[in-house]
Structure 1
Amino acid sequence: LYEESRRRETWLQASADVTTNLLSGADPRQVLSVVAARARQLSDADLAQVLLPEGAALRVAAADGEGAEELLGSSCELDGTPAGQVFTGGKPMTGPMTGPMTEQMKGPVKGPVKGPVEGPVEGPVAGSEGRPVLLVPLGAAPGVRGVLVLAKRSGRLPFSMADRQVLEAFAGQAALALELAEARRDAERLGLLEDRDRIAKDLHDVVIQRLFATAMTLMSTVRLVDHPEAAKRLQHAIDELDGTIRQIRSSIFALQGPVGEAAPGLRGRIVELVEGAGGHLGFMPGLHMEGQLDTVVPEPVAEHLLAVLREALSNVVRHSHARRAEVSVEVGRDRLALVVTDDGAGVGKAGRRSGLRNIEERAQRLGGTACLEVPGGGGTRLRWEVPLGPTGPASRDLRP
């Protein structure tokens, strides 16, 4: 009775740990490690693994105990393996590990698989021949989320019915916690999308319209001003308002982009490059982006653009001794333009021949142009421009 009470208390604590970690917003990968550790503790096993589906296989997403580090990331096929059978059928299996093992679970399992309570179980744990093994589904069919695999050293007592019952209850609680956490993340993503849509709508319908009306008022006022300097300042203010409107529209495009942990779009990769250059320059270059960079620019063209930007920023870092730099990326109806400007000493002839040659070749492959200029006030301006329309890169070899 005491042993049963202690086991139940341990199970409740383990379930609470998993649920608390998940619902507190912890990284799901860390929580899976907690699941493996608590399962091993509950069953007094020497090794615990959490297998999750990945295509037509099950991958070890977390492991705890002997050989855990070697097993992380390894996988076994869904078809013809005990783990796959538990995943598809939703029924636990237990028995000694026997038969030839495949390297790190990657090959097919040989020989029969018997269960659910007795008979040889082959192949779910590398290096576990003759060891007692217990496989428990995470959740109930048809919504099984993964498989919990536990193993003991050779010669130890097999898993008891009490072990199996406790692990089944724990796996069910862990699966429920994973499902609740996923539902909460979905709700948070939905809320973020709704906030983005609302902000984008307010920017478009309210802020831009007011700025536009202010700019129109100033334009009509310029005609009434006789003092040249005052008229010049008013025109400058109008130009600034026009630039602000373009930047807000660019921000609206960004707000309407995808949400989640997917790879960053072109905008995000440009920001990463510029921020990386800032760490070497000792100051952060200015950055202006305009247009639907993440939706209009094809991926091969984006790769060329990033390579050119990387080379241009590298030249600024190595050669210019600049105190200020600006990066501008604009997408028009049928063209993409990159301008990198700095106030440094510029690059020498050798630097220009080596660095600009690659930049020019990338532009030519896309049917565009590249030029390096020296503005009147000194410094360097690189302009790289390529077409995006049917006469542009669609019919060319775009590989960087």
Structure 2
Amino acid sequence: MDATNPAAATADEALRILRAVEQLGDAEEAGDLMRRGLRLARSLSGAGAALLAIDDETHPGWYAQVATDGIPDDDPLAVAVLEGRPGDEADSPLVRAPVRVAGQDFATLVLARWDVLPAHREQAVAAAVATVLGLRVEALRHRRVSELHEHVTQTVWELNRTLVDHVDLEVTLPLLARRVRDLTSADAVAIVGTRPDGEQRVLAASGEGAGAALAELAPDLGEVLREGLPQHWSATPAGDQLSSDSRVCTSVVPLETRAGHPVVLAVHGWKPSRGVSQQQVRDVLSALALHASVILDREQAEREHDQLTVLQDRDRIARDLHDLVIQRLFAVGLTLQGASRRAVVPEVMERLEGAVAELDQTIRDIRATIFELRHRPGAGTFRADLRQLVESYTSTLGFAPVLHLVGPLDSVADDEVQTQVLMVVREALSNVVRHAHAGSVTVQVEATAERLSVTVRDDGVGISADAVESGLGNVRARASEHGGAVELSRGEPHGTVLRWSVPV
């Protein structure tokens, strides 16, 4: 009876479609959701091919990628849809249905290659599947964005815990770079500033490819440092078109600090999380760049406050020395000079004149001390000495080297070992300048409870078979004197890696 009842048949068909659409409800990943949606659209409609053309959020009117079912990714129809000309390759009518997320166009569902010409039913199937896809994508987006914001909150909390007593940029900035890299799945993250002479300096970096990434981004870094305007760009490499992280992006975001020297946050090769748009990730990067600006400003304020406090104390000490001690010594000297004129015994006269001369010398010494107090030279730590040494090679190399400092360097190494490390780093960088023809170099100094190690990695021409080990001989000797070791090897895909270590 039902088979001859059109209304009943229509109801059964609608129920079958609804039950099939329920299969999309438990998809937890965007890629899985797309695959299920395309497969479902084909099975319900009888189409030979199903395609999902996803809009390019950075280029309105363009498609970023096309997911397919029933045909390969490189099928002429898929290529034509991606290029916005599906009619050129279609050998049968196309049925289209928009996929909307939060009221905005997200993608277009395309059904093609029919055995029987499509009618109203097939259009209704496409519309139903597209509607459910949009709702599920929106739900997944809300969940992923919430997770991203939770991770950002945890990152900010972790950073703030390092600021409880005072700001140590050697701890906070590397932590920020690592967390940004974790949040965005980036290949490399770096915080780059400028020195007073205009040369770039790497304040912190994360990722083994940070040096090569900075060399690649050098023109863009220079432009953002000069102009103060953020830059973002992305590309889709060859591969799985259904993968939600197929878009590889790069961002260079300026930090607005009051220190006067421009600073940027560079995030290279980051990938949007599943269900998170590129713009949302960019907003997160802007927020973290703002937090980094606050950190730098606070460190600047602390440094200025400490310097002012020290200068005030020194000025007070200098004033007390000048107004009290020198005046009293000067008075004692005048008294002794008067007494020496009345002395009749030559020996007594000679001693009094000697005492006056000593007082004059003491006064001169105190005045020199006052000058030193009022003109205090800067003092550095081992970390600061390493950073200053590495940064001093920027102009010679033609690019900013990357420095990674790991572990309690200032407390583990004694003065002699610190001096040896500085000499090894200097020799290694000098060799890169003379022989490597490199575009990037990374220096890592790491301290553990047992060893202090230096690793210098460049992407240059590598080691020649007839190389003369003049400078390297000095490096080996410095390791041997302290019971250490040196290893020189070829880098991948090219370049040289020097590893030097000594026990502590």
TM-score range, shorter chain: 0.3 to 0.5
Larger Rg: 2
TM-score, normalised via structure 2 length: 0.38
TM-score, normalised via structure 1 length: 0.47
